[in-house]
Each structure stands twice: as C-alpha cells, then as structure tokens.
Structure 1
C-alpha cells in the first residue's frame, strides 16, 4: 500500500477518464491531473474546447474523445476502443451534469426534467458500468462522482435537479457496498454555489440571470472544488472518503419554510 499524502507524484502513472471536460470542474480536474504527471481521457461535446485543452500539454498526456452522453450507445465503444496506453483507467471523474430552469414543479418543463435525468443519472451509470469492471479486475481505482449540496438540502425550483444529485450520492454509497473486498474507492463530491457555466446553462444563456446568482458574495471556483478532489486522491490506499460537502463561507442552510394563512 502506498501513502501518497505528501507526494508531488500523486498523479504519476494514473489514467483519468473525465466526462464534461470542456468547462468547469471537468476542465479544471483534467488540467490538474495532466500537470501532476497523469494521463487524461478528456470527453465532451465541444470538440474545439477538447482540442484546446490537449494543446496545452505534451503529446501523450491528454487523449480527447468527443462524446455526447445523451448517446449512451457510444459510451461503451469509446471505453472499449481506447489505445493501450490509456486503457487501464484508474480514475473516473463523473462530472458531466446540468440543471435546467428554476421553475416550481407545476410549471416546470418536462423536457428539462428528462434532460437532467438523462445526463445526471442515465449517462453517469452507463459510464460507470463501462469502466468499473476494468478497475475491479486490476483491483485499483477511484470513482469520483460529482453530486451537489442539493442532494441533501432542497430549495424551491430544485425539484428534479436535486433529486438527480441525491441519486448520485446514493449510487456512490451503494457502489461502495458492492465493492467491499476490492481496493476500488468511491467518493461523492457535493459542492455548493460555484461560479462556472452552471448558471448560464440553467438559465439557457441568460447571462444577467446567471450573474445575479452570485451577486454580492464569493462563490467557490472550479479550482476550489478540484483542490478538494486532489486531497481525496492524495489519501493513502486504505482510506476512502464516502462523501465530501463544501460550500462558500457566504452560503449556509435556509430555515424551514412555513406557509401561514393570513
């Protein structure tokens, strides 16, 4: 067993498969691994962003694979057709996900609900199912699933988004139960308010609405969350962090809401 807590080589020799590597947490994590000496399989829909990411590093560090997670039939093929140098994946960062809209349930778009379920749940389990058997066979690996504080704390308009992230959290814990006896780790990372493209996607390009979410406070950054993920990956092999929850100092929990008759 290795204790890599103090090692600057914590990523050396590791191969990370990253979903949603074109922006936000995914791009930050991909860069962090590659800079620390690991290899990255960077996936996402925006090819030009993947190419720009790969161009930052020496050949052989970042392998790009355009992938639309809405096409679950393509996921297995991408994993099975990896070149030998990238095939032994031992880090999976299930990052791709989205929130759409902030309307309350009676007024919400069913199409938005379907897309959140397809991306945040269905795609995540398909990617995991494609990669996990190889980790178990090699008895080495760490699955890091990106959940959210919305998995634990409901808020108006968070209906299906929060439910999908609660699934991610519970799925992570159930994976740990199934993997008992192997050396494969699973962690659910649950950030609070973080300024990435998240709100731009939620409000479908309405930059004014997106900026208003973070007005007057300092949210987390993608690098802040990546710092937390790196800390997990630096831990010794015998230690698994099941869940890690982080918020900006200027965010906390709402009091119970009560509807009172006048």
Structure 2
C-alpha cells in the first residue's frame, strides 16, 4: 500500500469527517476511529469510492483503554506507519454550573477529552520516533484559553489539551516530530447537539445569526499545518468566525 497514513479519532462526523475528506482528497490513506461501526462503514465506502485511497476502521470508544490498546497494537503491518495523528475525539455535555454538574457526565468528558487523547498519543508516538518522523495534531478549543459560564469542566479539559500539546512538543524537541494544537471557536457540528443533551433546536438557535465555522473549515487549517515544510512547526492556531472575538463575545445578526 502506497501513500501516507493519517489516523483520525472521532472521525464519523464534524471536524473529524471534514479532516478525513480533506486528507483523502490529498491522497492520504485513512485510519478512522469512532464508536458507531455502521456509520464508519458507510463513510469508508463513500471515501474509497470518491478517492484512490484505502481506509481502515477502528471502531472503539477512546475511553476504553483496553480495547483501544489492543486495536492499535494489532494494526496490520501495512497500517502501522502512521504519519499524522489527529486527536479529534471530544465532547461536552450540558452547561451546568460547577456546583450543580453531573459527576457521571464529567467523567465522560474528562475521560474522552484528556485520557483518551493521552492514550492514543502514548500508543502512536513511539512508532513515529522509531521511524524518525510524524505529526501529532490535537483539536483543542478557544475554550482552553479561559473559562466561561457553565463550561468550567469542558474548558479545563481543553486547557489540558493545550498543556499536553505544549508538553509533548517540549518532550520531542530533539526529534523531527511536530506537534500542533488547533483551537476552533464556534463550529456548527453535532457537538452542540450533545452539549444541549440532544436538543437540536436549541443547538441550531445557538448559531442563528452568525456564519459559524464548519468541520471543513477546520480541516483546511489542520491540513495546512500538516502540509507545511518539514522544518516548519505550526505550534498553535486559534481560528474563529469573523463575527466572533472571544469565547463569550460574538455578534449575531438576528
């Protein structure tokens, strides 16, 4: 199998799916992870029929360390040489005040956004070191730059993504491996439906009056970082809609 390989977590929709399509269009073979095997299989069929690439599926929840470890460890030899890892899997549930939040929901958010990212990174980066090349791209958030009402736990997880990205970049400074933290602002994906616990109308209303970013917009920035010359490391990118200024200040023309 010829061509570079990109491994994307949370690849079935939103930013992850946008990244899959972008990298496929540039000839990358794809390892795609998500929880729903039926969605992944349909996406695989779409991608392989649209582009001259191969797709390998890893259907697991990044919170399940044992399953994830086995799946990545047992990748076929032709799929082990991962060139780009995109740690995209992440979520937020609710907008509760910290003193009122649901502890079980917090476990899901923390285990996905922090521990899942850490585990995938720990499993993939040693191979990059052996091959003397690779790129880790973490999907952080503008939320990691400062807390906002009802978002303390999610903001803390994205602040952790920044710290983990910076720390990994330091740990790998004497190697050719690059580390990038992509920090989107308002992106209109299924992410907000989960935030509002399945209330799609409320999620849609959140974006009313502003031209929000799309998963494809983020994918363009991710690919820009990945396609930079080998001596150029795009360490961090903050991108927002034109009418957004901070995580809490935006203009909506309703």
TM-score normalised according to structure 2 size: 0.93
Q: Structure 1 segments of 4 or more deviating over 2 A?
A: 57-60, 253-256
Q: Is the 8 A contact 2:16 2:88 kept in 1?
A: yes
The residue that corresponds to 1:7 in the other structure is none
The residue that corresponds to 2:222 in the other structure is 229
The residue that corresponds to 2:45 in the other structure is 55
The residue that corresponds to 2:252 in the other structure is none
TM-fit CA distance, 1:253: 2.6
Instruction: Indicate which of 163, 182, 188 corresponds to 1:170.
Output: 163
Is residue 197 of structure 2 the alignment partner of residue 207 of structure 1? no
Is residue 76 of structure 2 the alignment partner of residue 83 of structure 1? yes
RMSD: 1.5
Structure 1 CA distance for aligned equivalents of residues 5 and 87 of structure 2: 14
Instruction: Indicate which of 225, 238, 246 corresponds to 1:245.
Output: 238
TM-fit CA distance, 1:153: 2.7
Q: What does 1:73-152 correspond to in 2, within 5 Å?
A: 73-152=66-145
Q: How many residues align?
A: 245
TM-score normalised according to structure 1 size: 0.90
Structure 2 CA distance for aligned equivalents of residues 254 and 228 of structure 1: 19
Mark the CA change 1:139 to 1:157 in structure 2 (over 3 Å): closer, same or farther: same
Kindly provide the CA deviation profile for residues 142-165 of structure 1, in whole angstroms up to 9, marking residues without a partner as x: 000010000003210110000000
Q: Is the 8 A contact 2:142 2:247 kept in 1?
A: no
- Partner SS, residue 200 of structure 1: helix
- Partner SS, residue 149 of structure 2: coil
The residue that corresponds to 2:20 in the other structure is 30
Between stretches 57-66 and 36-45, larger displacement belongs to: 57-66
Kindly provide the CA deviation profile for residues 101-158 of structure 1, in whole angstroms up to 9, marking residues without a partner as x: 0011111111111111000001110000000100011111000001000000321011
Structure 2 CA distance for aligned equivalents of residues 229 and 206 of structure 1: 29
The gaps in structure 1 that reach 5 residues or longer are: 1-11, 257-262
Structure with max Cα Rg = 1
